[in-house]
Amino acid sequence: MSNPTINQVNEQFEKFFGGPARAFAELSINHVEALVNSQVAASQAYTDLGIQQVRKALEIKAPQDVQGYVQGQQEVAKELGERMKGDAQNVIELNRKFAEEAKKLSQQNVQAVSEAASNAK
């Protein structure tokens, strides 16, 4: 094969395989990074909440303190439930965005291949 033919094969390979594979890999890495960051933030929040509760339990000195602590646990449970719901919604939204972007990339690649096939005829 001549040098121009090799260059043309390389360009086509990059256009139809290399470029799309790198774009999808970048999309995937960005998605995993966002998920990990979300999980790290959630873990930190849950850890902080747990440590706060242990500290409050250590402040119990008298029987009436127990009642206040137990009543406070209802608020903590509510807060925890809302936090978990928000974290789950965040993961759902990240996955939805990933699916949309992956679909868009796939459609662009199919369109490029279709156009190339039409031009080759």
Nearest to 91 by CA among 39, 26, 29, 49: 39
CA–CA distance, 104 with 100 (Å, rounded to integer): 6
Encoded tokens for 88: 């789950």
CA–CA distance, 18 with 52 (Å, rounded to integer): 51
pLDDT of residue 110: 84
Q: How many residues does the chain have?
A: 121
Least confident range from 18-32, 37-51, 60-74, 105-119: namely 105-119
pLDDT of residue 21: 85
pLDDT of residue 20: 83
- Average pLDDT of every residue of the chain: 88
pLDDT of residue 112: 78
- Confidence (pTM): 0.76
Sign of CA dihedral 26, 29, 35, 36: negative
Encoded tokens for 75: 């608020």
pLDDT of residue 24: 92
pLDDT higher than threshold 60 for residue 13: yes
